[in-house]
Chains A and B, each alone.
Chain A
């Protein structure tokens, strides 16, 4: 595989002090979003995000996924209540009523 200059620079940058690679970045995402990263780690995380388009895009798509999932569920329409469920509940009610007597 031939590496582009950009990729080579990225590899080199990852090895500098206070730099992390994308895999380490991945491990910090949840803590970052939960606002649990201590200041230095947060700085390191945000620095990687500024420099790395792949991780920036990844995190944006990750967050968009959450938002889309929430909205899709919120927009669900009310179903009709299935008649078999009505019948089942009424029968279970009768059965539990008989037990109580």
Chain B
């Protein structure tokens, strides 16, 4: 807390060491956030880099009473959203093969869950957290991004539509299909846990 204003002052006065300090201070946190948002390390690195360059260019306009990390965080999130928007607009995936199935009478064909494990039970098992994370990443971008912003960051569906410049109805359809697909991909994780 106490040395933060000093770092900002040093950044403003173009102290060459200060910028590297700022990278080492917040770089990991920003990279994790960007990687979570984008599900891709290379794109995440691009956004972190872009964020630092923005900071470098605009440090003189930074109001020092605010927290520099919150400012950087906002710049980063905007850079990630920009990336999401460009790839979501181009995304036409259907996820058809991962949707629930019904017989000719409209009856659901669903594996029987004897008892569904709790989230804690699922994640305390060795390796399942990585399986869940890679399942999220395996979704095509257009679906993954909506699911990430809605279900992981907790924005409303209307907010997500606005953030990604999509229509509300398209966002809803994609959100539901993304969730259904993720459920389908994770079924083995749930069932394995149930059996053991």
Residues of A within 8 A of B (CB): 7, 10-11, 14, 21-26, 29-30, 34, 52-55, 57-58, 60-62, 64-76, 78-82, 85-86, 88-90, 92-93, 96-97, 100
Q: Does B29 contact A (CB under 8 A)?
A: yes
Query: Which one of B61-69, B71-79, B86-94, B128-136 contacts A?
Result: B128-136
Q: How far is the CA of A36 from the CA of B151 in the complex (A)?
A: 17
Residues on B with C-beta less than 8 A from A57 are: 110, 112-113, 116
Q: How many A-B residue pairs have CB under 8 A?
A: 146
Of A68, A81, A93, which is within 8 A of B123 by CB? A68
Within 8 A of A (CB), among B39-53: 45, 48-49, 52-53
Categorize the interface residue count of chain B: 35 or more
Q: How far is the CB of A94 from chain B (nearest CB, A)?
A: 10
Of B19, B36, B175, which is within 8 A of A73 by CB? B36
- B24 A70 Cβ-Cβ under 8 A: no
SS class of chain B's interface: helix, strand, loop or mixed? helix
Of A26, A58, A73, A100, which is within 8 A of B133 by CB? A73
Q: Does B1 contact A (CB under 8 A)?
A: no
- B20 A30 Cβ-Cβ under 8 A: no
- B27 A68 Cβ-Cβ under 8 A: no
Q: Can you name 7 extra interface pairs (CB under 8 A) apart from A29-B176, A69-B151?
A: A23-B102, A57-B116, A64-B122, A68-B132, A68-B186, A70-B151, A93-B52
